[in-house]
Amino acid sequence: MKPLSATPRTRLARLPERVRTDRAVLYEILDEGMICHLGVVVNGAPRVMPTGYGRLGDTLYLHGSTGARSLMDAPSQEVCVTVTHLDGIVLARSLFHHSMNYRSAVIYGVPSAVTDADEALAGLRAITDNLAPGRWTEARMPTRKEMAATAVLALPLDEASVKVRQGPPNDDEPDLALDVWAGVLPVRQVFGTPEPDPALRPGIPAP
């Protein structure tokens, strides 16, 4: 697996020890996430849009309405996509050393509009199954009209950076004697009990 190579945009000048160059870590961060933020310029102004995504190999797929200018303008320019996991709040003895435990990925590149029908379906399946594994084979397939109203973008994972912070606070030695609690407050995202649609017919179990 080809490691991540630093570029002028992905090279970190501060806290380089948090950089990860293992491409498998990039895949892990992307595959565990469900929402990314797409940075794009629309009408001369920068926008950051949240959207669902999915990964197939070294390609990230994004989707949305064909009426969304952010998606329609993206293939003509460099964009930035970020995915972040907050794993913990780091509480130090000093306010200066408070921090967060996190895993983040930043991807740069020029996305392409997917025009091939088979690739568009594959990209949409990757997005769907990233949010709800197996759902693609349970629900109705999109119609031709629905596909025409859906924009699918493909962004190669050629230029990306991964940054990770783990562990306890990094207090200064003199502060260790302070009577202030220090440690990590873990953060995690969990799924709740499925809530049926009020219009659901009786007898249909949750998948």
CA distance linking residue 146 with residue 59, whole number of Å: 23
Run means of pLDDT, 10 residues per run, the chain, 207 residues: 82 78 94 95 89 96 86 86 98 97 96 95 97 94 95 95 95 96 97 95 92
Which CATH number applies to 16-166? Answer: 2.30.110.10
Full-model pTM: 0.90
pLDDT the model gives residue 176: 97
**Beta bridge partner(s), residue 16:** none
pLDDT at residue 69, as a whole number: 78
For residue 166, give both structure tokens.
């783990």
Segments in the chain forming alpha helices (H): 23-32, 69-73, 117-131, 144-148
The pLDDT score that the predictor gives to residue 75 is: 86
Report the distance separating Cα 130 and Cα 190, nearest Å.
15
In single-letter form, the type of residue at position 36 comes to C
Looking from the CA of 203 toward its CB, the CA atoms found within 13 Å total 0
pLDDT at 180 (0 to 100)? 97
Measured CA to CA in angstroms, residue 177 lies from 49, 89, 172, 180 at distances of 45, 21, 10, 9
Domain ranges in the chain? 16-166
Q: Is the distance from CB of 182 to CB of 93 less than 8 angstroms?
A: yes
**How many whole angstroms from its chain centre is CA 181?**
33
